[in-house]
Amino acid sequence: SQQGEEDPQALSIQEGENATMNCSYKTSINNLQWYRQNSGRGLVHLILIRSNEREKHSGRLRVTLDTSKKSSSLLITASRAADTASYFCATDRGGSNYKLTFGKGTLLTVNP
């Protein structure tokens, strides 16, 4: 079953604009990660935020985590056409196996 739900399901913006994607999840988590997937290919890890962190930055990416609302957001600043991809949040609960539970993803299209 899917743990997270990304919002919106699809987002279309112009190059240079910022893109914000949201993720909600249902159970307590250990970490939350964001992955990117180009059409029909493998997923690439973007950023990990731990449950005791509230915000994290990596280059043009900014992730926030609100554990009280069970939600996270991914902001991509100054978007480029090459950022066009599907973005997934994934949570893990720690413990004896490293199982990631993914949402359904947001399809981001950046128009040149």
Partner 1 sequence: ETGVTQSPTHLIKTRGQQVTLRCSSQSGHNTVSWYQQALGQGPQFIFQYYREEENGRGNFPPRFSGLQFPNYSSELNVNALELDDSALYLCASGPWDSPLHFGNGTRLTVT
Binding site for partner 1 (CB under 8 A): 1-2, 4, 33, 35, 40-45, 48, 88, 90, 94, 96-105
Cβ burial of 76 (10 Å; 0-12, 13-18, 19+) is buried
Nearer Cβ to partner 1 (19/49)? 49
Nearer Cβ to partner 1 (35/110)? 35
**DSSP-assigned states of every residue in 8-19:** -SEEEEETTS-E
CB 72, CB 63: distance < 8 Å: yes
Nearer Cβ to partner 1 (52/96)? 96
